[in-house]
Copies of this chain bind each other. A is one copy, B any other.
Amino acid sequence: MDLDKIFNPKSVAVIGVSENPNKIGSVIFRTLTKLFKGESYQVNKNHDFLYGKVCYPSITDLVKETKHKPELVVIAVPVNEALKVLEESGKLGIKNCIMVTAGFKEIGNNSAENKLQQIIKKRKINMIGPNCLGVLNTSNNLDTLFLPPERLQRPKKGNISFISQSGAVGSAVVDLAASQNLGFSKFVSYGNAANIDESDLLEFLEKDDDTHVICMYLEGVHNGERFFEVAKRVAKKKPVIAIKGGLSDGGKKATLSHTGSLAGNASVYEGIFKQTGILEAHSLEEVFDYAKIFSFIKNNTHGRNVQIITNGGGYGILAADAVEQYGLSLTQLETKSVTALQKKFPSLVTVSNPLDLVGDANNERYEIAIETCLEDKNVDMLLVIILSQTPLIDLDIVPIIERLSKSTKKPIISVTTGGAYSHELKEMLESVGIPCYDFPHNAVNAMKELVDFAKK
Q: Interface on A for B, CB 8 Å cutoff?
A: 22, 102-103, 107, 147-148, 150-153, 164-173, 175-176, 178-179, 217, 219, 243, 245-251, 253-255, 257-259, 282-285, 310-318, 320-325, 330, 347-348, 350, 352-354, 356, 359, 387-391, 417-423, 438-442
Contacts and interface: CB of A to CB of B under 8 A. Distances in A.
A313 to B, nearest CB: 4
A258 B314 contact: yes
Contact of A318 (B245, B316, B352): B245
A419 B176 contact: yes
Count identical subunits in the complex: 2
A332 B387 CA distance: 47
Nearest to A325: B248
Contact of A257 (B148, B352, B389): B352
A318 B251 contact: yes
B387 A171 contact: yes
Contact of A247 (B169, B247, B321, B417): B321
A107 B167 CA distance: 56
A396 B253 CA distance: 32
Contacts of A316: 254, 258
A5 B433 CA distance: 49
B320 A389 contact: no
A388 B333 CA distance: 49
Contacts of A168: 310-315, 359, 387, 389
Given A151-B421, A389-B147, A169 B318 contact: yes
A418 B167 CA distance: 13
A168 B385 CA distance: 11
B320 A251 contact: yes
A165 B312 CA distance: 12
Nearest to A167: B359
Which 8 pairs across A and B sit closest by C-beta, in order of nearness?
A168-B312, A166-B314, A179-B419, A248-B324, A169-B314, A258-B313, A175-B418, A283-B441
17 contacts: A151-B391, A153-B419, A169-B312, A176-B419, A179-B423, A245-B318, A247-B321, A250-B320, A250-B321, A251-B317, A254-B354, A258-B317, A284-B439, A284-B440, A284-B441, A285-B441, A285-B442
Given A153-B418, A247-B321, 5 more contacts: A150-B421, A152-B419, A166-B312, A176-B422, A284-B318
A438 B284 CA distance: 9
A431 B219 CA distance: 35
A420 B169 CA distance: 17
Contacts of A390: 147, 151
Which of A353, A423, A438, A439 has the most chain B CB within a 10 Å cutoff? A439
